[in-house]
A and B are shown apart, each in its own frame.
Chain A
């Protein structure tokens, strides 16, 4: 924690003012420490930072999320617009246009 709720900048929205301003940083432990205990780390810029040890080698949480059916459908619809099919679709499982998507959505 860097600033407690009462120590924060003036004029910020109430929801932000009611919680602390806090930070996380990664580094190499200066001395062995347990998770949850106060620890010091040496950062990539060779500084020492103190705080509660939250995790060891934490996994990177960003991913690609779930596929978006909406984007897949509009992509397909726009391709059909650009390259009109010469024969009727033998497997008409997708709407011909994005705006007919509601029918597919119901099956999610």
Chain B
């Protein structure tokens, strides 16, 4: 058996990954180590959109309803300027096998693993993706191993992730519940090495292609049901996959709505801190992933991340935990849908952004997820109180991450906060500039970085000039 020392396992990561992905990422690398053939990578799966839809239909995924939320829209209009308050729609992804949009990602990853003849799949994820992989693997008759970050050092489990353990095991998966720390990745490598299973990472081209059907369906359904294209799509933003896949699917359908990413504001809480771990009432869709992944998408469990949020985001906002709990309660009490937490992050932002749009505009919240024990706001608020976090009603601006959760007291108190995308672009480019002391870029690299940061060549030239003049640029996240 090979050494299991931390540094030695990490040194073998390239070889382990290559075997576990069945994809040679080196073929996409371009000269200089900065740029790679992104479209070549995301376009590498040998399935067209029709094939993806067929696979998903065969494995209980997709074609979920798009519901209008008229009572929430009406409530927003009560405090919006005259003639404003968009029609809020929600894509009810809870109807997918395993209860979330993650089934779209898992269906392709597991289909590919089965096609390549792997005996099983491994996914390192504390979220719905684990349940989706386990469910898809169950239907394919292959094994699934899910690795989850569940506990802090006194073995206090985060309620939502305890539920994810249960659901993965319900689908017949082997689940490893680990304590806080980035060594989850180390354990992932060891598991892949020992089993020879497929790495069903969230960030392969399969994990992205599977979501394109979601964007495509939204465009189709808006046209069929409402006779027009959506004005804006709100997408809960973490690792970038949801934004990337949905935006690509919308483009395929010829729709061009504003793409708005939404993350729960958890700034100030450290993602790898044993103490902070259970002081977060959200396990994903928050700034702890959203910021660093936007600035540096390749900090993942594959050589190149196919999910690259900055390429697609037109706008990026944050919302507080208490505002999401408020939205969750209203979705249940006014619209008769008990869902979440995941999609309710963008729903909370919708309650704010709908105010800015005309009454006939369509504003789409692009996912829901099944709810249950541990995932429900009451479970999170109970845990927060036990850890000494104050919970009260009031102005969400008084929210203090890890110390106080403020449930919005009225509809007009819900206010999404804009994040400066230009600042994130600068941070992204600062990281690249630090690797290039002479600041020179080839034509190919210039085009790549303009695409990566979602700007024109001219805008890029100005941004790069700004970044290159500064000695060191630190990432905001």
Contact = CB atoms under 8 A, between A and B. Distances in A.
A57 to B, nearest CB: 12
B329 A3 contact: no
A16 B74 contact: no
Contacts of A2: 178, 183, 187
A44 B329 contact: no
B378 A16 contact: no
Given A8-B183, A60-B162, A21 B178 contact: yes
Contacts of B175: 25-26, 44
A15 B269 CA distance: 13
Interface string A6-23: 011100110110011111
Given A63-B373, A78-B333, A44 B274 contact: no
A7 B181 contact: no
Contacts of B181: 8-9, 12, 16, 21
Nearest to B273: A13
Given A3-B183, A78-B330, A82-B74, A24 B378 contact: no
B159 A65 contact: yes
Nearest to B410: A98
Interface stretch (A32-40, A68-76, A86-94): A68-76
A100 B376 CA distance: 25
Interface in B395-429: 407-411
A37 B195 CA distance: 26
A62 B379 CA distance: 8
Contacts of A47: 174, 194-195
A64 B393 contact: no
Contact of A65 (B270, B380, B392): B380
B383 A65 contact: yes
A19 B143 contact: no
A87 to B, nearest CB: 21
Interface string B181-199: 1110011000000110000
Chain A interface secondary structure, helix, strand, loop or mixed? loop
A46 interface: yes
Given A13-B270, A63-B374, A105-B392, A78 B179 contact: no
Given A15-B273, A62-B166, A75-B333, A22 B179 contact: yes
Chain B interface secondary structure, helix, strand, loop or mixed? mixed
Given A2-B187, A9-B6, A68 B392 contact: no
Interface string B234-271: 00000000000000000000000000000000000010
A1 B391 CA distance: 35
B39 to A, nearest CB: 34
Contact of A13 (B178, B179, B186, B274): B274
A45 B195 contact: yes
Contacts of A7: 5-6
B184 to A, nearest CB: 9
B33 to A, nearest CB: 22
Given A15-B275, A16-B273, A78-B330, A45 B174 contact: yes
A73 B393 contact: yes
B169 A65 contact: no
A15 B181 CA distance: 10
A74 B393 contact: yes
Contacts of A9: 6, 181-183, 186
Considering the complex of A and B, which 6 residue pairs feature the smallest CB-CB distances, nearest first?
Answer: A65-B382, A98-B409, A62-B374, A62-B162, A19-B153, A45-B174
Interface of B: 5-6, 71, 74-75, 78, 120, 143-145, 150-151, 153, 157, 159-160, 162-163, 166, 169, 172-183, 186-187, 194-195, 270, 272-275, 325-326, 328-330, 332-334, 373-374, 376-383, 391-394, 407-411
Interface of A: 2-3, 7-9, 12-13, 15-16, 19-27, 43-47, 60-68, 70-71, 73-75, 77-79, 81-82, 97-99, 101, 105
26 contacts: A3-B6, A13-B270, A19-B179, A21-B183, A23-B178, A23-B179, A25-B175, A44-B173, A45-B120, A45-B174, A61-B157, A62-B162, A62-B374, A65-B381, A68-B325, A70-B391, A71-B325, A71-B326, A75-B330, A77-B410, A78-B411, A81-B75, A81-B78, A82-B71, A98-B408, A99-B394
